[in-house]
Amino acid sequence: MTTYDAGEFTLEKVRDYVWEIPQEGAMNAPARVLASEALLDEISEDETLQQLRNATHLPGVQKHALCMPDGHQGYGFPVGGVAGIDARNGCISPGAVGYDINCLPGDANVRLSFGRRAPIESLRARFEDEEAMVAGDDFVPSGIRLFTESGEKTVYEVETATGERIEATADHSFLTPDGMVDLADLKPGDSVFVQPFEGIEDERPEEATLLTEEDFSEYNWQIQRVLEERDLLPLRTTDEAFNHLLKILGFFTGDGSFGGEGQVWFYGEPEDLETVREDVRAVGFKPSKVYARERDHQIDGNSSQTIEHSFETTSKAFRLLIRKLGVPVGEKIASGFTTPGYFGRLADWQKALYYSAYFGAEMNAPAPQHDKHLYCPKVSQTRTVDTADAGESFLKDLADFLADLGIETNAIERFDDDSNSERDVVRLRLGVKNDSENLIRFFSRVGFRYNREKREKAVAAIQYLKTKEREIERRESIATEARTMADGGASADEVKDEFEINGRFVERSIWSGRSGRPRPGDDFPNFEESLESVEVRDDLTVETEIASIREAREKPVYDIGVEHEAHNFVADGFVVSNCGVRMVKTNLRYDDVQGREEELVDALFDAVPSGLGGGGIHDSSDGDVEAVLDRGVDWALEEGYAVESDLAHCEDEGRRPDADPDAVSQKAKDRGRNQLGSLGSGNHFLEVQRVTDVYRDDVAAEFGLDEDQVVVLIHCGSRGLGHQVCTDYLRDIEQAHQGLLNQLPDKELAAAPAGSHLAEEYYGAMCAAINFAWVNRQLIMHRTREVFADVFDRDWREMEMELLYDVAHNIAKKEVHDVEGEEKELFVHRKGATRAFPAGRPELPPAYADVGQPIIIPGSMGAGSYVLRGGENSLSETFGSTAHGAGRLMSRTEAKSKYWGGDVQDDLRDQQRIYVKAQDGATIAEEAPGVYKDVDEVVRVSDALGIGDRVARTFPICNIKG
């Protein structure tokens, strides 16, 4: 065979295992695929070849862009891709180093902090400055740690029995009573949790300065200083602190008062007051503890006692601040307060912060009326006759705000009130119209703050009213069908037999008709009865059934990842979820481990943090992160996590000298701070293995490997820090080098020209991230040594737990290579590929200078892995590179639709004595052995081409997955 037909592409055979897409058009070089025909069949199934061809359009590509035998589709640049690009006249591309995938369409609305919602697509440019709402033990905001996007994928529309709708890809996870479950594993009738509060569409308020130093010039200078220290002067409508203040102002207007010297008091239930205290702290002031005291009451001659709860602040600066912002001063009944004058400059969601807090204090809770209706939610004020107009103005502004949101209110009521014996007072009242759709809009868009009971009842009310509407719609449909059947000649009895409904309802539908919509049946519960069967959880979610799941269409999809350990966020009301390798040798034999596999895997799983979120082995400070980024494994040596021999057996001795910690954003550093010494998620793992085969005795001896030996493989990367570096620079490069981007066939290949400021910054930041990744794996190795010492009751040194080698996978490095007889400095991009230098290359550590670099090729957890050494042909063929693993055959979505994690785990244990442990079954399904290509075939091609020579093969004993 001299050509290979891959659909759109015809590959020409250069020689055995080398196939080429010839250079044409705007390609700067040919594209080459290193694969057997069996592997080509798999590579050609996705977008790998198109992405490889696109990569040849990058300026400065030398010789040819390459796809290793394990290649598969990636973000912009194929995983398993290698490109050597002129470091003087070419470019550097973050997309050709590494990125991620995702799963919600762009119009999916994500719940954000402060009661806002926004389409997920709109978060692309600002996600690091936003907080998404997370469900769990509570409903809380969390920083967003990542934003990912990709091309079009098939999405499915999910609709619940209460009318919630969302579109998502099949691999997107939803919160269910059984935990997070992928959409592919759900079906109609299954239960999911929804959060019915929608919030208000996000918009940026008009930027206006509300308070400056001049507003406090008449007071003691210390007042101004206190406010300036807390960044409250000047105070602008766009300040986050102002949003916290709006909630406090609204609640104080209802349930607050001024006391003695500097005192500001807030009253409510203890749990609710704790949330007010959080906002007081958020603006920089210290609240008191919550006090409790007995209060005596006399009503119609009857006395009673209640417990009143309250807390205070005693800062004169805080008291003056909220006075300047428009809270009632003095006795509220006579103060003449109205809506603060700056409200016209606020976004609707900001107004809702104020009013929902006021409603939490003053509005009646959702309650049953009669005939399955709810009472009209009302707020009322008592004012003196002189200030009644001001009170009516306040309520009118409130009604206008609700009207802007499509929420109707009744007319403002005004009537005399004789409750005050000392002065003439007027009672004012405003109610929200209580038809179902109007109440749903009110409870789901505005609702209540600072009142747990009202918030829970509002959630229950939304679901009750939605269910009621569904029931009415069902009865309307039956009535229409009944009349149609009767008009067609069917008897009343025949019509009654057709429907499971009261016979009297059918008769009325046929004969007497009815004015208006039908009412729910007698067996439909009222609101009070429904509360007994509806559980509103602490995170304000409720359980509902899936009514339908149907394939919609293909759409571009997106995802976000949050910092909160719950790893979920709320979109469209649903709760949904968003390297390198080193080998450690031991002198243990397989017999030493047999019978202790479960003990070992449990101990490793407990000791090494894994999964998407935070938590690492080292509790890092800002200074630690800076030192790690700068010095790499040298830092670990100083801190006692490494020994000298670890550095001697690590690529670049565990430190990239070109690292520039200052080029790493603070956001990236913050993400990495609590992840140092953790596996992460996806295909990352820690695996205990045994050496089953040795192919080159001489090289294996140099590497310190022999048959039946126990080794440990650690595969993970720079965690969220590295992802953030890529995200930061992709965005900056897209904006700064739009001209270059417009010349490329795929925007995901965004690149910075060599020598440009961004190219140098990105290279320095990437090298710093590599340092972080090396230290991350070093800390995991340190913890692994401790676990082995505990399990086998001997010092790790006695077990000779030495590092064989550590090599990076996703990287672009400046290296000198021969290009047509000329020595050139190149940016060698290796995305999901590994360096494979032969003996004699100066970058190799002394231990391997004469034998060649060790290469570690992980396979699936059921197939084993390989140790190779840099082949003699690697420099001329692949810029000193080879494959980095088996390569995926199917997506994670496909994997989870085909495999069940528990079954995979059981089969591996029972059939192959491989013990696997992970955070959840879905992770195991995603990494099932059948998901990956044949690692034997991948390595066979590498060996045959002389780019990576087989040395030894290993097989899993136990494995913990990220």
Task: Determine whether 1 is exposed, middle or buried from the number of CB atoms within 10 Å of its CB (0-12, 13-18, 19+).
Answer: exposed
Report the C-alpha gap between 930 and 275 in whole angstroms.
50
DSSP string, 883-921: E-S--BSS-HHHHHHH--HHHHHHHHHHHH--EEE-SSH
Lookup: tokens for 164:
């919630």
CA distances from 395 to 389, 391, 410, 411 (A): 10, 6, 11, 10
Report the C-alpha gap between 78 and 72 in whole angstroms.
6
Dihedral over Cα of 374, 376, 379, 385: its sign: negative
- Among 244, 567, 649, 884, the active-site one is 884
- Helix, coil or strand: residue 49: helix
Residue written as token pair 């009895």: 493
Q: Which helix (H) or strand (E) holds 943?
A: helix 935-945
In this structure, which amino acid lies at residue 119?
A: P
Report the b/e string of 418-454 with b at 16+ CB within 10 A.
eeeeeeebbbbbbbbebebebbbbbbbbbbbbbbbeb
Lookup: tokens for 841:
């290359």
Q: Which helix (H) or strand (E) holds 201?
A: strand 200-201
Dihedral over Cα of 480, 482, 484, 487: its sign: negative
Residue written as token pair 């994690």: 901
Report the C-alpha gap between 685 and 695 in whole angstroms.
26
Report the C-alpha gap between 690 and 369 in whole angstroms.
72
Mark whether 884 is an active-site residue: yes
Q: Which of 878, 932, 762, 729 lies closest to 83 in space, CA to CA?
A: 878
Report the C-alpha gap between 376 and 366 in whole angstroms.
8
DSSP string, 768-821: HHHHHHHHHHHHHHHHHHHHHHHHHTS-TTTTT--EEEEEESSEEEEEEEEETT
Would strands 915-917 and 948-961 be described as parallel, antiparallel, or unpaired? Answer: parallel
Q: Which of 94, 151, 90, 149 lies closest to 124 in space, CA to CA?
A: 149
φ, ψ of residue 941 to 5 degrees: the values are -65, -45
Are 101 and 69 contacting, i.e. CB atoms less than 8 angstroms apart? no
Lookup: tokens for 563:
């910092």
Q: Half-sphere exposure of residue 202, counting CA atoms within 13 Å on the CB side? A: 20
Are 519 and 472 contacting, i.e. CB atoms less than 8 angstroms apart? yes
Report the C-alpha gap between 77 and 96 in whole angstroms.
5
Q: Which of 849, 882, 868 lies closest to 951 in space, CA to CA?
A: 868
Would strands 685-694 and 822-831 be described as parallel, antiparallel, or unpaired? Answer: unpaired
Catalytic residue positions, numbered: 884
